Amino acid sequence: MSSAASTVGNRKWLPWAIAFVVGGIALAWFGLGSSQAAPMTPAAKTLIVLACVAILFVTEAIPLAVTAMGGAIVLGLLGVIPVKSVFSGLSNSTVVLFAAMFVIGASMFHTGLAQKLGQTVVRFSGTSENGLMIGVMVAAGGLSGFTSNTGTTACLIPVVLGICSAAKIPASRQMMPLAFAAGLGGIITLVGTPPNIIAAGALKAAGLRPFGFFEFAWIGIPLTVVGIIYMLTIGKRLLPKVDVSANVEVDADAAAEAKASTSDPFKSSLTAVVLVAVVTVMALDFKQVPLEVAAGIGALVLVITKCLTEKQAYTGIDWVTIFLFAGMMPIATAMDKSGAGKLIAEWVVGLLGGNPSPYMLTAALFVLSAGLTQFMSNTACAALLAPIGISIAQGVGASPHAVLMAIAVAASCAFSTPVGTPPNTLVLGPGGYRFNDYVKCGTGLTIICMIVSLIIIPIVWPFFPVK
């Protein structure tokens, strides 16, 4: 969600959110407020804390990372989980993996490699509206699989604006496809977008096989292709034709992220070599070289060879995602050990008729995740629903992998509002869009993504795999 939108939300919701959270934690801490009442169960305490976390995630009254870490700390103090495990998420190997990949992605921007790749693809596509749209979406989708989708969008905006100006094409015809492709491309790899990382981490925390680095490509690539086809056919008919100056100012934070150091052929080439090497090792899945080790070595090489400075490496890491992930791991453990996840699962199953099919459960969770992500952080959305999804799947005897994949994919389908994801917010001004433009164009894409997902996901990740 954009910083501007978050600030407005903070001012509006802060008093109410804090009052709710303080009251909820007090209720969990002191039981039911009566010495005559039976002690509150760990499951009840966990549900109260989870409700507080959910309210703070939705309102963003306080930073997401603070909410996640605070929830873990409270559960430790309440005795639901051991106090020593409150910060155990920070030692998770997945944290090292995506921190290192953030550094590699930052090097792509600081050396100018990302900009060169984007410019080459976009300019190679020509100056026709359809050709340019294909080039923009391919470039954005490809880069977003390995780098920040926010940075990808920001670095391509001036390129696309310049081409649109020269070709006399309204920027409003290309900016939204750019943002949507950045969101879809992020689904292709484990580190492409935070919801993927959250889903894999939740599976690992539950003692299940986590998703592999390229496993997301089974659904990410088809969705990206379908997204491009949708925008070339239906979507472009719903896009407005607004003439916006090519000199329009983009979001300050995004502009800062997009700035690269003076292009250095050697450094950009070395970054490309390191990226290809790391991705190759990950694809071959060497047991001797785990994913996080491969990524860590790549990040260290880039810093040692000064492709980016130590400070740039630190600032390239999305620390909000790091701490949100680390905070949600103990909360997921608490939901499992306390029985809170089982209670939620039984409640959801009851609402769906008592004996719903896994397809119905997956569809319901996809709709819930896709609905929430239009107005709240996709990272928070996935973190909130992932442990619940595991409990629900296990409650009906199904493999959680399909359910978790649906939750993660849906959390990335934030196409219907300008505040659903940073790329949407970035193109709002340059494209001259209004809120309803996102609703008209993005809602159809979300529905199509849901249909495609519900077809492909159960095939690749069966609900009842043969052992």
Mean pLDDT, 10 residues at a time, over the chain (467 residues)? 42 60 64 56 85 76 81 88 87 78 81 78 78 91 83 78 81 92 92 88 89 92 96 93 55 47 74 86 77 88 92 84 79 79 74 80 90 78 87 88 95 86 82 88 95 96 84
pLDDT, residue 54, reads: 77
Q: Residue 301's pLDDT is what?
A: 94
pLDDT for the residue 95: 79
Can you give the C-alpha Rg of the chain in angstroms?
A: 22
Cα-Cα-Cα-Cα torsion 388, 346, 72, 48, nearest 10 degrees, comes to 130
* 8 Å CB contact between 127 and 169: yes
Q: Please report the pLDDT score of residue 260 as a whole number.
A: 43
pLDDT of residue 446: 95
Nearest-5° angle of CA 287, CA 293, CA 298? 125
- pLDDT for 16 equals 58
**8 A C-beta contact, residue 109 and residue 258:** yes
- pLDDT tens digit sequence for 422-463: 788 788 888 888 888 998 999 999 999 999 999 999 999 999
CA distance 167 to 160: 10
Backbone angles phi, psi at 408, to 5 degrees: -65, -45
Closest CA to 327 of 379, 268, 266: 379
- Listed residue (399, 383, 393, 392) closest to 347, CA to CA: 392
